[in-house]
Structure 1
Amino acid sequence: MNEQFNTVADIIKSRRTIKPATMNGRKIAREDIEALIGLADWAPTHGLTEPWRFIVYEQPAEFCRKHAELYQQNTAEENFKPAVHENLTKMGDNASHIVVAYMKRGSNPNIPQFEEIAATACAIENFLLGATAAGIGAYWGTGGQTLKPAMKEYLGLAEEDQVMGLFYLGYADEQPQGKRKTPLEEKVQWIA
């Protein structure tokens, strides 16, 4: 393979989840976040619907407090867990930014919803690979109220839109090593 392939392969293989607690609090420049979103914008999209959308929170602690509030307001008393509330409150303490990624459902009924979700996931992967190449750590979170109606309402999304996750971004002093549990040969079937 050529050098360009090898560069892309190295970035893909080195992308790892960086948990927010391991981030060091150093701020990411706004233009770097804009560049990552610019990469996301080049995802494949059926019918050129470009369904990906991003909301960038430059003050992650404020968003986290609101997320914890949503959890408390929308969780039955018998299911409420103080530890979850505390975790949601503090999760962004070391992060530089939180980016909410969501799928904005288009009006073309010929484009299935799953294709819009897949296109948004591709945009997210572009975003994450760009972050890896830039030395920025990222954590894709879907806990708490992230995938619940309360978050959609808080963000002002339409019912047919879909929150895809919260992305905690920041710098980390150490990078975890990756591994795969299932050998590739068990995931591929070749037919001649």
Structure 2
Amino acid sequence: MTLEEIIKGRRSIQLYQDKEVDVNLVKGLLEKAKWVPNHKMTQPWRFVLVYDKGKEKIAQLNKRNAAKGATAEEKQKNGEIAYQKMMAVPMFLMVIMEENPNQKLREEDYAATSCLVQNVSLLAWEKGLGMIWKTGALTITPEFREIVGAKLGEKIVGMMQLGYPAKVPKARPRADVQSRITEINN
């Protein structure tokens, strides 16, 4: 595959095969993905890999947070669905960034960390692995931060779900870039 094919072919994957992901493969992807533009070379990122029995705490937290509904039965059902959804993910890759107190550097660090996530995504796709970049309510709870060891002054940039795709969605249309280009030449 060419780089262009990888970029155009990559999809956000939410359904995975029941197949283990090699931890050393992911570590190797991270080693390659680190080659991103990073102003001042702060390299503010670190990673937490969660797999096998390590997923249990995240799945239980997701279950508690999703246990909503009008009846006890509905709460139990919604919680169980949320639990199973997390347990079906072969591996989680937490991307955690040190938040620089200087706003300009913090924004540049976030941009660099986002580039790193994209590199991991493309490198994983090349190896037949799919992932989806998740953020949101779960990842900002104190309980989640404690589970993954996020410290004060750190931001969880993403909870990357990683595995071999069971289903690859079709490409969604992208806006025409030509209509978003302004040329200034005089």
The alignment's TM-score, normalised by the length of structure 2, stands at 0.81
Which residue, 151, 155, 162 being the options, matches 1:162?
155
Q: Which amino acid aligns with 1:155?
A: V
Which residue, 46, 51, 55 being the options, matches 2:48?
55
User: 1:25: how far off?
Assistant: 1.2
User: 1:44: how far off?
Assistant: 1.8
User: 1:69: how far off?
Assistant: 5.9
Aligned partner of residue 164 in structure 1, secondary structure: strand
Distance 2:173 2:8 in 1: 11
Structure 2 gaps of 5+ residues are none
Q: How does 1:131-150 map to 2 (within 5 A)?
A: 131-150=124-143
Residues 31 and 157 of structure 1: CA distance in aligned 2, closer, same or farther (over 3 Å): closer
Q: How does 1:33-72 map to 2 (within 5 A)?
A: 33-59=26-52, 61-68=55-62, 71=65
User: 1:169: how far off?
Assistant: 0.9
Which residue, 170, 175, 178 being the options, matches 1:177?
170
Which residue, 114, 130, 136 being the options, matches 1:121?
114
Root-mean-square deviation (CA, aligned residues, Å) is: 2.8
User: 1:160: how far off?
Assistant: 2.3
Q: Which amino acid aligns with 2:171?
A: G
Aligned partner of residue 99 in structure 2, secondary structure: coil
Q: Which amino acid aligns with 1:126?
A: N
Which residue, 1, 4, 22 being the options, matches 1:9?
4
Distance 1:31 1:163 in 2: 22
- Aligned residues of 1:61 and 1:89 also touching (Cα < 8 A): no
Q: Which amino acid aligns with 2:20?
A: K
Distance 1:42 1:84 in 2: 41
User: 1:174: how far off?
Assistant: 3.7
Provide the identity percentage: 24
Distance 2:129 2:168 in 1: 10
Distance 2:117 2:17 in 1: 23
The alignment's TM-score, normalised by the length of structure 1, stands at 0.79
- Aligned residues of 1:23 and 1:94 also touching (Cα < 8 A): yes
Q: How does 1:25-104 map to 2 (within 5 A)?
A: 25-59=18-52, 61-68=55-62, 71=65, 82=75, 85-104=79-98
- Aligned residues of 1:52 and 1:119 also touching (Cα < 8 A): no
Instruction: State the 4+ residue runs in structure 1 displaced beyond 6 angstroms.
Output: 75-78
